[in-house]
Structure 1
């Protein structure tokens, strides 16, 4: 990744904006939307973040250097090479935020990706997120184990599930779902043979399984671009001859050029 994606909480804190013009106005508006307070460079000692929105290249570089020397993280409009952080194109379904970034390569591209997402992500996402937040204590009481809790949510939030995020009525069903939810603790192993190192060649079923897997067992040489499609906290191990089924979903990834030498792995639920 070209950057580490983070969401920075600035409510109640000061953020420096250097500049006037349309770019500076847009930065001030963004800061206020996130609950921050706009301040000038003279108040930089109170701030941790700064935006520089100056048309003059030399003036922008000088302002960025001054602010960085004072320990601030700096964004310089239209100058990604000078930026400590960049601002993405933001889709707001409060409290759900979707940020699209191209690392400064093309703000226009990021905007149009966001506009496509705007058309398919319902306004009700915020209501669903708020309902899940409000029932966190009840969810933990109903499913004390972290893995158990995650599997219950995975089932409910999956396409066609009780809490499908694309269903506008999902937010109204959280309490009823929680009172009757059950977890499938059946161990399941699914195996895929990969014919390409390109993640774009994954089928929808393969991509969905990786996103829900508890464990990913793989042949040596399976591309990192494929492996990172799995959940960040999924256990990742090189493939043994006969993996032992465990609770939850295990995804086995074989390379086509290794398949002939590999032992068969059962694909049915255990």
Structure 2
């Protein structure tokens, strides 16, 4: 994070704008909304800007900026001239006095940035790009303007009115957060939006009377194959409200960044012959935190019910009497194949697809080989990289032709995605040659040859 976002209270605080033109006027409008007292120093001043200065009970200094000006009397300073040398001088003077300074459209001479703002006071949303792309920030603001109802400001004000009473009733901060989250999903929100304040007051009073310590729950959530944009809306919502996130090795950092920032995060990843936490331990963690009243997100790569041992985990939850939800995710087979340009089925090449695990047992893969040797079928192997050579040998030994196309998709759907194509006869030799590492998905079938035409990424 290149910048640290803060929200300044500027009511009745002196702020200085250097410059008297249109750019200075735009910044003055924002400062006036925030309740600041605005001084302007400039040889000339826009009449509209002068009106703002007078309305905030500030003063206009009809002079060029000079180093002798006492900038320490100001909470912040904005250099808004069209002269780069003047803006640089303002920055240097303010830096020497440790005063927050912004030079408009000049990131190297900024100690703070003025973000794009969505104003639903007292709810204020700011979007900043560290000066890299103000146009992009404004575009995102436009999108948010369309999705954040005007009534959200009323809801924020209503919450502030009741905040102390709720705090006195519910002392535990985690439980208090759950109370508010549940309340915002109740009919109360619409009552506030429609200015039915008396009814909203009645609803929150009733909710406080009926409030009981929340019961724990587990969300078994599929995180998909890696690209965070492949998360479902429900997955994202539950990730944001969980108190504890228990996550696997295959969950990417970008997806973890979307979890609630202050949630407790516990890594239980498994690699071959190296389990951070055994499965029994994972099951016990889920039960433990849920029984403590926590909302637990069990975040699993791909889909939890496809080679994810999700069924075992919820059996344990059921036995312990713990409530749970299951949120499916895009499994690696469909996600990685799509991003590699390989359709798993095709009318001319494959009328069926089989998902298999390539885990070895006692050094040999145990698969129904006689069912797998079929021309118009696609085979998808999860976790098959270590046993790839033996798997290819077994298929050939049971009658599959050596020239059957095979694709290896490593770290599919992520920026590090790598795809290597070969045949049953030579694909194993290409693993080390192309430095293919887990997680890798293996696709075997005629559909692989379509990649030459259909790869798009």
Cα deviation per residue 1:157-181 (whole Å; 9 max; x = unaligned)? 13xx234479723873432222222
Partner of 1:218: 247
Q: What's the offset of the Cα at 1:208?
A: 0.2
Larger deviation: 255-264 or 6-15? Answer: 255-264
Partner of 1:250: 296
For residues 82 and 166 of structure 1, do their structure 2 counterparts lie closer, same or farther at Cα, with a shift above 3 Å needed? farther
Partner of 2:344: none
For residues 257 and 185 of structure 1, do their structure 2 counterparts lie closer, same or farther at Cα, with a shift above 3 Å needed? closer
Partner of 1:162: 187
Aligned partners of 2:133, 2:102: CA distance in 1, in Å?
Answer: 15
For residues 261 and 137 of structure 1, do their structure 2 counterparts lie closer, same or farther at Cα, with a shift above 3 Å needed? closer
Q: What's the offset of the Cα at 1:183?
A: 4.6
Aligned partners of 2:175, 2:187: CA distance in 1, in Å?
Answer: 17
Match runs of 1:112-131 below 5 Å? 112-131=139-158
Aligned partners of 1:233, 1:10: CA distance in 2, in Å?
Answer: 28
Higher relative contact order (CA 8 A, sep 6+): 1
Which one has the largest radius of gyration? Answer: 2
Aligned partners of 2:255, 2:177: CA distance in 1, in Å?
Answer: 22
Aligned partners of 1:31, 1:140: CA distance in 2, in Å?
Answer: 32
Cα deviation per residue 1:34-62 (whole Å; 9 max; x = unaligned)? 11122346241212311111212222222
For residues 107 and 223 of structure 1, do their structure 2 counterparts lie closer, same or farther at Cα, with a shift above 3 Å needed? same
Partner of 1:265: 313
Aligned partners of 2:165, 2:113: CA distance in 1, in Å?
Answer: 38
1:81 aligns with 2:129: no
Aligned partners of 1:76, 1:44: CA distance in 2, in Å?
Answer: 15
8 Å CA contact retained: 2:154, 2:193: no
- Between the two proteins, the alignment pairs up a number of residues equal to 268
For residues 87 and 183 of structure 1, do their structure 2 counterparts lie closer, same or farther at Cα, with a shift above 3 Å needed? farther
Cα deviation per residue 1:112-165 (whole Å; 9 max; x = unaligned)? 32223223322222221111111122212332322221111111213xx23447
Aligned partners of 1:37, 1:233: CA distance in 2, in Å?
Answer: 36
TM-score (norm. length: structure 1): 0.88
1:143 aligns with 2:158: no
Aligned partners of 1:147, 1:15: CA distance in 2, in Å?
Answer: 38
Within the candidate set 201, 206, 210, 1:175 is matched to: 201
Match runs of 1:1-270 below 5 Å? 1-39=1-39, 40=41, 42-158=69-185, 161-164=186-189, 168-169=193-194, 172=197, 173-181=199-207, 182-183=211-212, 185-220=214-249, 222-239=251-268, 240=277, 241-242=282-283, 243=285, 244=288, 245-246=290-291, 247-256=293-302, 260=307, 264-266=312-314, 269-270=322-323
Larger deviation: 215-224 or 64-73? Answer: 215-224
8 Å CA contact retained: 1:14, 1:36: yes
Cα deviation per residue 1:221-247 (whole Å; 9 max; x = unaligned)? 632321222222211111342222331
What root-mean-square deviation, in Å, do the aligned CA atoms of Structure 1 and Structure 2 show?
2.6
For residues 113 and 183 of structure 1, do their structure 2 counterparts lie closer, same or farther at Cα, with a shift above 3 Å needed? farther
Give the secondary-structure state (helix, strand or coil) at the position aligned to 1:253. Answer: strand
Cα deviation per residue 1:202-258 (whole Å; 9 max; x = unaligned)? 110110001110110112363232122222221111134222233131001123499
Aligned partners of 1:132, 1:260: CA distance in 2, in Å?
Answer: 44
